[in-house]
Structure 1
Amino acid sequence: MDRRAFLLAGALLAAPHIAAAQAPTRIRMVLNWKYQGPQGWFFLAKARGFDREEGIDLVLDQGEGSAAPVTQVAAGAYDAGFGDMNALIRFAARQPQAAPVAVMMLYNVPPFCIAVKQDSPIRAPKDLEGRTLGGPANDGALMLFPAFAQAAGIDAAKVAISTMQPSLREQMLFRGQMDGAFGYINTIRFSAMGAGLDANALRYIRYADHGIDLYSNTILVSRTLATQNPEAVRALLRTINRGLKAALAERDAAVAAVLARESLLDARVERARFDATVADEMSGAEIARIGLGDIDEARMQRAIATLVQADALPRAPGVGEVFDRSFLPPLAERLTRL
């Protein structure tokens, strides 16, 4: 064999190993809910290949409620999730070794509420006593009801709680099968619109109006991924950060990216849901100082204390246990105004 043939043969033998070394890291991520417009930044990032450019292959699946990603990631079903920070705190209080870790805060204004019909006699939180409230089992607002009840002076033992499939929540509320529905304001409002119901026929009792100043949805990752492949976590956050910037600049494109995954969605409704989510849940005053994605540690400490007291948790996780900012893109690269 001459020298050229020998080198060619060696290159061919090495090629699979080179390709394998350059293959993107696959990250399986579960979302907070069924496919919706506000998830547009994830899907636009995927559609434009930001994940591949950052060295990862982001695989997105729809969710079953904002609390569910915590247990799904902890169990190893997913590497990452978009889920409720408060569910993560509760999990970490009980199972610190298995708990995922939050790495990027996106919903910094609490969206939790109880929706009632406009003509409902329920006008104040105390009016919920003796009533039936319902929501999907993994709904963040439902799981936070003990904290809300304590803050608002409600005897939670006098409130009946029912659960149902997510697709039935709004219909059951309008049919009078329950007196109030747990959920995120913009999820209920626009899901009602999408089902052909009159969203203006609803009122919302907001947890934030009654002393519940909590963070909400965050990007969380497994401790295995965070410790064994920290660069993949950084790449994931760079991908999402780029998707956020692109989605906010091109909102119709972001919604179209979601519709490409779920064609039965109403583009008009999902665009309105996108806009409302950004305005209502992602525009906390603190982002001008710390940037979207980070947290205020004192505020997080207060949130942890609220949950520990309301849920009688066995311990109070430290802020550093449940949130790790070290994977975030630099502040100069993150949004400081929406």
Structure 2
Amino acid sequence: MHHRLSRRAAAFAFAALASLAAGLPVRPAAAQPVTPIKFVLDWKLQGIHAWYYLAEDKGYFAAEKLAVTIDQGDGSAAAVTKVMAGAYQAGFGDVNAIIQNAVAKPGTAPVMVYMIYNRAPFALIVKSTSPIRTLKDLEGKTLGTVAGGAASRMFPVIAGKGGVDAAKVKWTNVAPNLQEQMMLKDHVDGSAVFSVTSYMNLVAQGIDPDKDIRWFHYGDLGVELYGNGVLVSQKLVKDNPQAVAGLVRAIHKGLRDTIANPDAAIAALMKREPLLNKDLEKRRLMYTLKTVMLTPEAAAIGLGDVSDARFARSLIQVQEAFELPRVPTAAEVFDRRFLPPLAERKVAAP
């Protein structure tokens, strides 16, 4: 039986043959457009960013018809403001900065769509030889902090729960790259730090952070805050929700694969920044997974999500610590509509 081509099909076939003859590429009749997304990290490239590059190398972004450009950042809070300013459509930043901006500039703050740090990595560090063994011992002591640091701003929360008179604790501002050194050289009695950064800074200085340092993790002391995650602009959510869902799926797959094979993830990172210390960055990645990501709560609710009850309490803690005029609603800050099904986000209990 003979089949006759429709005029439209015949025209396309003729055009394809003409293109081949001219050496031009043939494009599908209905190719799905690729969405460009500019994505900003919270800091310079480190092991805690490896899953983004593993996702890129495995084609997860391309499979979602996304062209993701990943730039280094200069702070977890700065990632939030850069997305607010429109320079980026998405980023890896601090949910607590979103909370503050949701109050200060309602309607313009980005929203968190995939929570990565199940615990905010805030901590106080002192030398293991220090007489400071409990929070109460901090009274009369001097602690170092970066100017405006979130760990120092949240100190009253753990002070109140530990029976500490916060007014009896002195603070001094130090440069971010000197936080550990100032403490090690006894210029301050302790420092309020971002644990996943400080841990490896100590390692790089020849200090064993597990033996030589005493840690007071805020997450163990009553601070219920979450930390960094994937955030997107409200404009992207409104204009292209499919792209948001695709971005979340791709990053989740990259993170899932990183947990299964950390070495592959670090290899992807090293391709972008060969001068990094591979062993140090793998250790940073593993420490971060262990301490702030793969928690019992994450095992229960899956990667990327939050506990509604805990999140509500964290909103109040941020409001009180930063003296915000109101407590934002959870919906202003976190949007779980784009999360993959729970079965895909389950992780083993630590």
TM over 0.5: same fold? Answer: yes
Match of residue 147 from structure 1: 157
Letter aligned with residue 15 of structure 2: L
Among all aligned residue pairs of Structure 1 and Structure 2, give the percentage whose two residues are the same amino acid: 45
Looking at structure 1, the residues matched to 149 and 103 of structure 2 have their Cα atoms a distance apart, in angstroms, of 19
What's the counterpart of residue 294 of structure 1? 305
Match of 2:177 among 146, 167, 174: 167
Structure 2 CA distance for partners of 1:63 and 1:289, relative to 1, 3 Å: same
Secondary structure of 1:67's counterpart equals: helix
Residue 8 of structure 1: how far off its partner (Å): 3.0
1:334 aligns to what?
Answer: 345
Q: Deviations over 1:206-253 (max 9, x none)?
A: 212321122111211111111111111111101101101211121111
Cα distance in 2 between the residues matched to 1:265 and 1:162: 31
Q: Which residue of 2 aligns with 1:223?
A: 234
Partner secondary structure for residue 44 of structure 2? coil
Maintained 8 Å contact 1:104/1:328: yes
Aligned 8 A contact 2:157 2:222 in 1: no
Instruction: Give a deviation string over 1:25-84, Cα, whole Å, max 9, x none.
Output: 222222223221122111111222211111112222222232222222112222112122
Unaligned runs of 5+ residues in structure 2 are 1-9, 20-24
Residue in 1 that maps onto 2:272: 261
Query: Would the aligned equivalents of 1:290 and 1:336 in 2 still touch at CA under 8 Å?
Result: no
Indicate the larger mover: 73-82 or 196-205: 196-205
Q: CA deviation at 1:326?
A: 0.5
The answer on whether the counterparts of 1:112 and 1:208 sit within 8 Å (CA) in structure 2 is yes
State the match for 1:8 in structure 2. 15
Question: Quick one: structure 1 residues 183 and 9, their matched pair in 2 at CA, closer, same or farther if it must change by over 3 Å?
Answer: same
Structure 1 or 2, whichever has the larger Rg, is: 2
Map of 1:118 onto structure 2: 128
Say whether residues 1:321 and 2:321 are aligned partners: no
Could you tell me whether the CA contact under 8 Å between 2:34 and 2:66 is conserved in 1? yes
Distance (Å, rounded) in 2 between the aligned partners of 1:95 and 1:120: 43
Q: Post-superposition shift, 1:127?
A: 3.3
Which one of the candidate residues 278, 282, 289 is aligned to 1:271?
Answer: 282
SS of alignment partner, residue 226 of structure 2: coil
SS in structure 1 at match of 2:216: strand
**Cα displacement string for residues 141-192 of structure 1 (whole angstroms, at most 9, x for unaligned residues):** 2343343344444444444444444333323332333332222323211121
**Aligned residue type for 1:63:** G
Q: Which residue of 1 aligns with 2:186?
A: 176
With 319-328 and 64-73 compared, the bigger mean Cα shift is at 64-73
What is residue 3 of structure 2 aligned with on the other side?
Answer: none
Q: Judging changes above 3 Å, is the alpha-carbon distance between structure 1 residues 294 and 94 closer, same or farther for their aligned structure 2 residues?
A: same
The counterpart of 2:105, out of the listed 90, 95, 99, is 95
Q: 2:114 aligns with which of 95, 104, 113?
A: 104
Please state whether the residue corresponding to 1:188 is helix, strand or coil.
Answer: helix
2:206 is matched with which residue? 196
In structure 1, what is the Cα distance between the partners aligned to 2:56 and 2:148?
26
Residue type of the alignment partner of 1:248: I
Secondary structure of 1:34's counterpart equals coil
Aligned counterpart, 2:57 = 47
Q: What is the CA–CA distance in structure 2 between the aligned matches of 1:57 and 1:166, rounded to whole Å?
A: 33
Decide whether the 8 Å contact of 2:92 with 2:229 is kept in 1: yes
Seen in structure 2, the aligned counterparts of structure 1 residues 84 and 170 have a Cα distance that, compared at 3 Å, is: same
Q: TM-score, normalised by structure 2?
A: 0.85
Corresponding pairs, count: 335
CA distance in 1, matches of 2:66, 2:321: 40
Q: For residue 4 of structure 2, what is the aligned residue in structure 1? A: none
- What is the CA-CA distance between 1:129 and the residue it aligns to? 3.8
Please state if 1:250 is matched with 2:261. Answer: yes
Secondary structure, in 3 states, of the residue corresponding to 1:304?
helix
State the secondary structure of the residue aligned to 1:220: strand
2:91 is paired with a residue whose SS is strand
Please state how far the C-alpha of 1:16 moved relative to its aligned partner: 11
Shift of 1:137: 4.3
